[in-house]
Structure formats: structure tokens, C-alpha cells
Amino acid sequence: MEKLAQMNLQTLEQQLTTGTTVLFFTADWCPDCRFIKPAMPEIEQEFSQYRFILVDRDENIDLCAELGIMGIPSFVVYRDGTEIDRFVDKNRKTKEQVERFLRKIG
């Protein structure tokens, strides 16, 4: 999975102008993030039509604030430069929940 460099929302949106991208917000210290991380390679493989980018919350705290990401792990999906959906809250997420969310965005 590609890791996002530190940037602001405007710069990020300029990089997401084509295709569908799933932003995975996480942090090393987060136990719920560590719970879902092992499943991410399988999720990426199952949804290979999407580009997945890991966003370290601590390295991109301003970006998270701009996007309203208050809880992690969280997922935000962009299609052709526009946010189309999000799975954002402070709760632990299972592989099945993430897959259900990604199927819903079609």
C-alpha cells in the first residue's frame, strides 16, 4: 500500500483527479488500527480496481482536521477528485465491515 506524504487537503485532492482511491487513516499506536492492518492486503487484492493509500494520522494531523477525521481507523473514498463516501468513526472495524463498505461504493 502506498503511504501518503505529509500534505494538505488541496494538494491531496489535486493528486486524486482520476480513478477511485481509498484513503486508510491509521496510526502506529492505535490498537484498532493494528487489528485491521493484517487484513488490508487481502482487502486490497479483492478490490484491486481501487488505489489504496495509507494516511498516517500523526504525520497528517492537519489533513485529518480538514477532513473531519476524528477517529481511526477510518476510510475515505475519492472518485475522480471528489469524495464519494466515508467509513469514519472511532470504532474497531472488521475485515467484513470494510469489505461491505467498499462493495457499497461500487
Q: Would you name the residues annotated as active-site residues?
A: 30, 33
CA 100 – CA 96 distance, rounded (Å): 6
Contact 76, 88 (CB under 8 A): yes
CA distances 93 to 2, 8, 15, 56, 86, Å, are 20, 26, 27, 17, 13
Where would I find the beta strands (DSSP E) of the chain?
2-3, 20-26, 51-56, 74-79, 82-87
DSSP code, position 10: H
